[in-house]
A and B are shown apart, each in its own frame.
Chain A
Amino acid sequence: MSSDEQSDKECPLCMEPLEIDDINFFPCKCEYQICRFCWHRLRTDENGLCPACRQPYPEDPVNFKPLTALDVQKIKTEKRQKQQQQKIKICESRKHLSSYRVLQKNLVYVVGLSARVADPETLKKPEYFGKYGRILKVAVGSSPSLNGPQSASCTAYVTYARYEDALRAIQAVNNAQLDGRIVKASLGTTKYCTNFLRSQPCYKPECMYLHDVADTEVSFTKDDMHLGRHAEYEKRLIESTLREKSQRRRASIMTNTSGKPSKSESVEYGPDSRSTPMENSHDREKISHSRSPSSDKNMKKTIKQTNGEVPENQPCSVANNKLINENKGADKENEARSQLEKILESANDVPSSAMLEQQTVIPATKVNEGIGSRQVLLDKILGLNIEQFRSRLSEWISSSQNVVPLITTTCGSIEKMFLNTKEKMDVNNVKIPSNSNSLQSANNTAPCDWQRALGICGKVDNLTTKNAVNEFPTTFSNSQTKMLPKSTRLSVHSDDDLGFDPISESAKGLADLLEEEKTILPQCSTQNISGMASVSSSLMSLGLQCGWPSMGISNGASPMSLRNALGTDIDSATTTTTTNNYSCANIDCFSQPIKLSSQTAQTFTQQSVFHTNQYSPHPYFPPPKPQMARVNNFVNPATNLAFNSAQPQRCPSFNNNTQYHSNVSLAAANQIDGTKLHEWQEGFRALLPNVNVRFVPDLSIAGYPPSRTSPMEMQRTTNQFSSTLNYDQTLPMSAQLLNPMTSPAPPPVPSINSYSHPSQQWMMPPPGFSYISKR
């Protein structure tokens, strides 16, 4: 069976882990869970009883839910997730190691090599790095040199089998000259293998990266390397090795001290052989051969010196030899002491150690007497001191040189950081244009709104200007349509005012004509009554000429209307009064609105409509009001046959009348209803079938746009023309009515003729005026 790590359950019979399918398998009611294999075996090979309750197993399992494909997938995914989590944990535990660099004791990092020797095989030779120990591997690379004049220098990583050899190589090679260049060496660092960090096996046979976790002492981060901690660790290693070497030197010093008696013995033989110099020298040589090589060298030197000095002073040579030996011993001791002191001191105190060395040299010089011997000794001592000083300096420089790879690494890291910052800047730059684009889009939208607003404002302005322009030409067209003999400024304004009054007069005339035609046939007595009314109105006008006050006029008018209403037919009376006296008709209508007939109502509405139209342009022409009053005087005398009366006396009274008139018309306009207006308009159109009549309110009600103002103007012109014709027609009627007593039959005939012949109507005003002149 395949074992599942996920399921911890086991079959109690066979102790094997339950499979995924067996987890939900319960073959017995007692829910004693076993694997299907054991279940099958119990049923087929055994007694078929449940091991727990000893009851027979049923044919089918009591509780068995087979897993669906989804469940299987879920379980598998869960397993994978767990495995991945484990791997991630391992990776995370090793992730922090990627930033560490481990100092390798057996790895030497060399800088400043020339191209000639930058070859693994060459560097492995005994002449170069091979002499310090067995080398495992050499890796060579080229890097840009920090020195300007030099073209390029090469670097090398040398891996020794033993770390002691690596340390010795560093001490020897650091600050050494090779092909005219100064070579610097230090311990190298190594990274962790990426496969190791990812917890994967590394398949590279020669992979030199680390595959195990190293000690924290030799693990350094970039910051640590920047601070130079790895260099400090290197110093400690070198110092520890130096201590070991110093111990060895102490042992050698002891051997030297043991060698002193031999030297004294040689000195003792000297005096014995003074008689024969040649024999003495031979004896010394024999003695020297029997001793150590170093002592041989020393004896040779002493022999040479004695040979040189024998001809001059033999006793002095003996003394010099003794002194020289003593001095040498002292020098050796001094060297050992200085070395110990140097070891104890830190690298920073190198100059002070040099001073100490110089101080130790002074007593030796004093002791020496011979010039040649002095020079030789001084050279030796100074040479040693200089070498040691150089080694110290080289160590110090090497410690400072160790910073160089740090600098390179820091430069590299800085470059990387700079590149990262550049990338970030690029990202920011990429973002900034998008922001600017959004700003531009915002700006674009803002101007669009502004432009739209401006457009709307412009349109509104255009509309207002168009409306103004439309209204302005109408007034001019109204003025142009008028054709009167006088052409002064007053006449111009009067023409504007006359433009509306004649229309009302024409409407009244038409209504009168229709009523007269109807009344002539059924009723003849009404004509007489209408004639009496006209006579009374003329008398009233004459009273005005006499100079009655305005209040008297108004009082007289009201009783007049009341009498007419009581005594005569309302329709005919009102029509005649309207034709003869404009103000009286208005008063009558205002006083008795209920008793008005349909025709009078239509006439009244027409008047109100025209008045409203008349008042609309007033905001543009406020001054013409008094002139309008004069115009009314001009019209009323014509109708009342009192044209030649004095104007100054009549101005105040007519002004009052006109104000009253305007008030009445405005009130009437407020009372008008849409239905009545419509009925009136239909009636008016029926009266004039041949003429296309259209009213401004109708157009406004219809909702025509301002662009249709031009056809309105044309229609208005037509209306005014027709109204002018009607106006001319009314004058002869009034004239003829003045003579009704003589013959009632002739009046309708001339009216018909005047209507059929427009040209004759234009010739009628002179007769009217002639009648006035006759009177």
Chain B
Amino acid sequence: MASALPRRITKETQRLMNDPVPGISAVPDDSNARYFHVIIAGPEGSPFAGGVFKLELFLPEEYPMAAPKVRFMTKIYHPNIDKLGRICLDILKDKWSPALQIRTVLLSIQALLSAPNPDDPLATDVAEQWKNNESDAIRTAQEWTRIYATGD
């Protein structure tokens, strides 16, 4: 199992290709089967609506015992996502479970865009803005989405 690609990764990849999640697409890299190019559409009803965000997903050697590593490649004004694109999500850290899959992780990220959590920030300035003046924060988020997440 260690040397060859695990059966689970193969099956998950096939399922993602055959039965994609609405609003999410994950395509494996040509040279590395553990590396996925992900595109998540901004959820409706959120300041990120209309935006298309690129992410990268990597399955570590210990997967599924270890959580996959996910990072935003597109700039986004979100209190739980820092400038480098790192995501602060519990299931990607201590709450990871082998029962979770790639599709469940991506769905969770999409949900995070709809419901930011300023109490556990990764970008403190954005979090402060989100707390003090939410309307301005939302406006800023919309601007960033229009500037960076569109026109690709």
A residues lining the B interface (CB < 8 Å)? 12-16, 32, 38, 41-42, 45-46, 49, 51-52, 54
Contacts and interface: CB of A to CB of B under 8 A. Distances in A.
B99 A13 contact: yes
Contacts of B1: 14
B84 to A, nearest CB: 28
Interface in B1-46: 1, 6-8, 10-12
A622 B12 CA distance: 126
12 contacts: A12-B98, A13-B64, A13-B99, A14-B7, A14-B64, A15-B7, A15-B10, A15-B12, A16-B7, A32-B99, A41-B65, A51-B97
Centre residue among B10, B65, B98 by max chain A CB count within 10 A: B98
Nearest to A11: B8
Contacts of A12: 98-99
Centre residue among B7, B10, B11, B12 by max chain A CB count within 10 A: B7
Given A51-B97, A51-B98, 17 more contacts: A13-B8, A14-B1, A14-B7, A14-B8, A15-B6, A15-B7, A15-B10, A15-B12, A32-B99, A38-B98, A42-B65, A42-B98, A45-B65, A46-B65, A49-B97, A52-B99, A54-B95
Interface in B53-109: 64-65, 95, 97-100
A49 B96 CA distance: 10
A5 B126 CA distance: 55
Contacts of B97: 49, 51-52, 54
Which 4 A-B pairs give the minimum distances between C-beta atoms? Answer: A51-B99, A15-B8, A51-B98, A51-B97
Contacts of A42: 65, 98
Nearest to B64: A13
A42 B8 CA distance: 16
Contacts of A49: 97
A592 to B, nearest CB: 125
A530 to B, nearest CB: 138
A14 to B, nearest CB: 6
B98 A13 contact: yes
Nearest to B97: A51
A72 B95 CA distance: 39
A49 B1 CA distance: 22
Contacts of B64: 13-14
Contacts of A51: 97-100
Contacts of B6: 14-15
B28 to A, nearest CB: 16
Contact of B11 (A15, A41, A45, A46): A15
A422 to B, nearest CB: 65
A357 B8 CA distance: 85
B90 to A, nearest CB: 11
Contacts of A46: 65
Contacts of A16: 7
Centre residue among B10, B65, B95, B100 by max chain A CB count within 10 A: B65
Nearest to A16: B7
Nearest to A45: B65
A259 B1 CA distance: 86
Contacts of B8: 13-15
Contacts of B10: 15
A422 B16 CA distance: 71
A38 B64 CA distance: 10
A358 to B, nearest CB: 80
B77 to A, nearest CB: 32
Centre residue among B1, B11, B97 by max chain A CB count within 10 A: B97
Contacts of B11: 15
Interface in B102-121: none
A12 B100 CA distance: 9
Nearest to B8: A15
A46 B10 CA distance: 23
Contacts of A54: 95, 97
A28 to B, nearest CB: 11
Contacts of A14: 1, 6-8, 64
A32 B100 CA distance: 13
Nearest to B101: A12
A428 to B, nearest CB: 66
A45 B2 CA distance: 15
Nearest to B7: A15
Contacts of A15: 6-8, 10-12
A51 B97 CA distance: 5
A51 B91 CA distance: 12
Nearest to B11: A15
A138 to B, nearest CB: 56
B89 to A, nearest CB: 16
A42 B62 CA distance: 11
